[in-house]
Amino acid sequence: MIFEAPAAFLLQTDIEQMVQEAGPAGWVVLVILILFSIFSWTVIFAKLSALGGARKTNWRFLRAFRKAPALDAVMVASEQYRPAPLVSVFDFGYEEVERQVKAHGRLSNRTALERALQLGVSEEVAKLERNMHWLAITASVSPFIGLLGTVLGIIRTFNALGHQGATSLAAVGPGISEALIATALGLFAAIPAALFYNLFGNRIREMGARLDDFALEFLNLAERSFGE
């Protein structure tokens, strides 16, 4: 009895054989694309964890902040929500309030407090955007690197065919298929990077807006607690 190999197994075998037969330039391109893909997925998983955690801790701290009667009570409660970006913004504002209260006994310079809060917001947004540029680079560069690998593979294939004197599709097909692997791998690296870059960008902008809103709430509470 003759058993036929599954199509998926044959496809995997063909791909492995084509990769093994790639030339030195093809290998360099493939390694670069694999590194881009690995690094972009590392950034993606790190951002998923960081943004998800920040969103949860922000919401918990905001509830505690809105229930607190004064800034001193919020300061005590903030320790258990320390990873939250809102807590960092709160720290910037609270330090400025403390300086003004120690110097004048009250909140004397609203503009200085607004600047301190804005610095806190900017710092937290910068933290959230860290390594995002790698996703943008992977999304924009990987397809062109893959195309370069394909062009080099096609040139190598036709150069070999010229020396052999063969012109049939059977002779050209395997080499062209081998060359197209670079394009496929480039797209495999670029597409997830582009999707998550846009997804994370939207989430970071939304979180930045929440930080700005919190700065306004902080101003209101500070004026109630230490205003004239």
Domains: count for the chain: 1
199 versus 180: the higher-pLDDT residue is 199
* pLDDT 10s digits, 127-148: 999 999 999 999 999 999 998 8
- The answer to the question of residue 186 being in a domain is yes
- pLDDT tens-digit profile of 22-36? 566 667 888 899 999
pLDDT of residue 136: 95
The answer to whether position 19 is within a domain reads: no
Angle between helix 85-104 and helix 24-67 axes, rounded to 10 deg: 50
Range of the domain at 189: 24-226
Task: Please report the pLDDT score of residue 121 as a whole number.
Answer: 96
Q: Give the Å distances, CA to CA, from 117 to 62, 76, 90, 122, 187.
A: 16, 19, 8, 9, 42
Q: 211 pLDDT band (50/70/90 cuts)?
A: very high
Q: How far is residue 150's CA from residue 146's CA, in Å, rounded to a whole number?
A: 6
Residue 17: inside a domain? no
pTM: predicted TM-score of the whole model, two decimal places: 0.79
Identify whether 149 is part of a domain: yes
